[in-house]
Amino acid sequence: METKRILVTGASGFIGSNVCLALQDQGRQVIALDDFSVGIKENLREFEGRIIDSDIRNFDWSREKVDSIIHEGAITDTTVKDRDLMLAVNTEAFKKLVDHCENNKINLVYASSAAVYGRGKSPMTEEQEKDILSHYAESKWEMDKFATQKFQAFEGKGLKLVGLRYFNVCGPGEQHKGKMASMIWQLYLQMKQGNRPRVFKHGEQVRDHVYVKDVVNTTLLALNAKKNGVYNVGSGRGTSFNKIIEILNKSLGTNLEPEYINNPYAHYQDKTIADISNAKEQLGYEPAWSMETAIPDYLSWIKERGL
């Protein structure tokens, strides 16, 4: 189904802004919504559509007549200690949005997170046991549980309701996230200063790093999902921090040895890798980027922006 008008929440954030620009490139009519609590106007500087400055907790969704909503807006700082706030912004606002979409025949694609798997075994499958280690992870898991009860009802109305469990996303537009930005950005910042990149001993922890261009692509594919559901969105491959440093060294023309530091965290994940077979089957997702190709692409964007 071809979507005509699309509203994107979290539109000035990292993933949301990339989604807005990709939709604009496809010639879609896009409305951007964000409260600019974290996201920045700079991320939307090439966006030509309308921008609404509003909080998702009290926005009157019926104000905008749209066919689809891509919901990226959320508290994304995983260390936030205020549980009530986390659940109000991430879960409660989402529940109201789901109800609105169901009652007004609107497709809804929303961002969940791989955080729900915690220290679970890899490759991580959608059905495996959850390991909820933070209020953030809880808020996303509550979203998924609520959505799961609604899949059939949406299906019955010919509507999409799709959750996407993004893994470790990196790429252009994440700079405003500070300590919450990807390890690739953090390591780049250190190495650009000529400093040795600092990682926990001994850099062999593996993450499913996924380039934002693949994430955007899957998010748009989700609007035409064969089946409503919650899907993993990663690269399907694990890359160690040592390997990331090696790729950064190669791309930057440096030769900086990692500095291994003690890990203060008791609950640190050694390995996260997404099983993406469901996303391949139901969304038609095929990752186009590896870290070997994504990092040089990202670095050329960084250079262009003088960052």
Ligand X SMILES: NC(=O)c1ccc[n+]([C@@H]2O[C@H](COP(=O)([O-])OP(=O)(O)OC[C@H]3O[C@@H](n4cnc5c(N)ncnc54)[C@H](O)[C@@H]3O)[C@@H](O)[C@H]2O)c1
CA–CA separation, 108 vs 306, rounded Å?
A: 36
Smallest distance, Å, CB 18 to ligand X?
Answer: 8
Residue 56 gets which letter from DSSP? T
Run of H or E including 68: strand 68-71
Residue 161: strand, helix, or coil: strand
Binding site for ligand X (CB under 6 A): 10, 12-16, 34-39, 55-57, 72-76, 89, 111, 113-114, 166, 168-169, 177
Query: DSSP letters of 222-257?
Result: GGG-SS-EEEEES-S--EEHHHHHHHHHHHHT--PP
Smallest distance, Å, CB 194 to ligand X?
Answer: 27
CA–CA separation, 296 vs 292, rounded Å?
A: 7
Active site residue 177: yes
Amino acid at position 113, single letter? S
| Cα-trace Rg, the chain | 19
Given the residues 96, 177, 243, 280, select the one marked as catalytic: 177
Smallest distance, Å, CB 71 to ligand X?
Answer: 7
The answer to whether residues 211 and 298 touch, using CB atoms and an 8 Å cutoff, is yes
Using the minimum distance from each CB to ligand X, give the nearer residue, 157 or 237.
237
Smallest distance, Å, CB 145 to ligand X?
Answer: 16
User: What is the CA 107 to chain-centroid distance, rounded?
Assistant: 19
How many C-alpha atoms does 95 have within 13 Å on its Cβ side?
13
Smallest distance, Å, CB 14 to ligand X?
Answer: 3
Cα separations in angstroms, 66 against 108, 117, 163, 252: 11, 33, 19, 44
Given the residues 117, 136, 231, 298, select the one marked as catalytic: 136
Specify the pairing of strand 206-207 against strand 239-240: antiparallel
Supply the residues annotated as catalytic.
136, 177
